[in-house]
Structure 1
């Protein structure tokens, strides 16, 4: 078994993308030595995200729930590369020795069951990264509930609860949104995530039912025709009533947990529009619209403003069972009709409970959300 159950923990060590816990353990030591077993275990999740973020022609082809493997098809741009070089280029934070150990235990080619690190890739090769055997709690799997907010022939939108990962991880394979739905929904493996939410973020999550719908949605996100609205509880209260948070983002150079981001000179452009809905002595209820889509963008911008999200331990929020950030609404033109579509998720119970004791808020929150 792996020494963690949280995707966030894996990301903090290896620097993966967004996302990321339901009372998952945190990495508290500044320096952590990871065994070859741990590296081998996390490789399938990390490589899948790393290659997707790259510009190469290697594509994630399948994530097979029966065979428990992630499969990549190699394009002409990678022909002739050594297998370990291919993996090292996509996962720069792992050493070549770590990659070579993983290849010996978890990686194979369709044409060669036991490849060596020096094996040269060919166009059309299928690199198969196996998952370790998991023993997930069947009672936990039975408790997963994903209310449907919208469904038609093209789209499926669900209300994701906090504590549930959207992608499979080493500790949560079947207990992830995409695998759970693929195993139960008639669309099956055709379901594709249109975007991502962190493990602790609740709210609207959109999936495409076909490759054509996925392409249209992807283009919509790139063209900013898909708009997302979030609700967050922050403490201390925001000093401004509204405006735009504009700060370039990049890795935090002073933080050992490499998933942590911060506003840095020369980082990638990031802008978030916000409006305070309710102001209280110890917190604010704020509405946010990300104008760009960067890793941890809302959370980092609020921290930089001096008001981190309540419960966000990664960015200095006051203690709470999870970070109180909710994806409240998604607006987009429908992929087929191009008619405006608005999908909403109600404020979850834990955020309502946090606000319940604050004077006069109970009725006002419902109107604001």
Structure 2
């Protein structure tokens, strides 16, 4: 295998983040997120959010963050609404359902929910014989690499507030989404009740930062994190990485790097008249090739086969902090040879 484009977490971690951890290797820190690195990381994140009126908690991974947040917010008879392609519906092995909450789905468009989809779901769950939808889940970016614009996200949040629904945004690939969208971190306080800033898919060893804006969600959240087995004794391990990533523009720099290389691949493939399964502007792209091309390509590169479609297979290429221009150029040259 020449190179893997399978995901954005195959490499151990960005050297700057690993160096920050190494420098702290002999430190003695308080446990459970009560250390100075956690406090400083929260301070730096709040500066980017441009608000002090939020609570921040560090956990290790995306599924853990999703299950912890959703199970804390919803009452026993409530469900979360998501797009049918959402990570919590497809790729979390029933983690949400295991907490006692149903995931209600709508098809949406291009991996995104719209207010009309939320309205349709509410009308379908109209009395006490059905689960009550208590929360809307969206991700930025989506599983198809698409992103919500500011207007789209604001429309969803306004609809949620009008109908007493919480809005939670999964930010596993937020660095890539921020680099591609008209939404910056300082806007999130007006766009949702809570979200998380993804690190695992942005060059961190591991780690996500849960951000709670809605005051009703703040009391005893640490108790719930501990109850779900998500309160790290060595909380400073995640915090040190966020501290380093937000000291300068490293977090956003990684997002731009990933997107630039994904855009390079997209443009080169479009020049070859390769169709796409979705129009992504982030670090996940979904070209469509014949089965014969995919089989030949898989002997040289690692990638996900996403879905069988008319005329072939949609596959997924993902760029990461470590992806190089040279590896992308070599991939394109090999595709040209195989297609010819």
| TM-score under structure 1 length normalisation | 0.29
Higher relative contact order (CA 8 A, sep 6+): 2
Instruction: Give the structure with the higher percent helix.
Output: 2
| TM-score under structure 2 length normalisation | 0.31
Instruction: Give the structure with the higher percent strand.
Output: 1
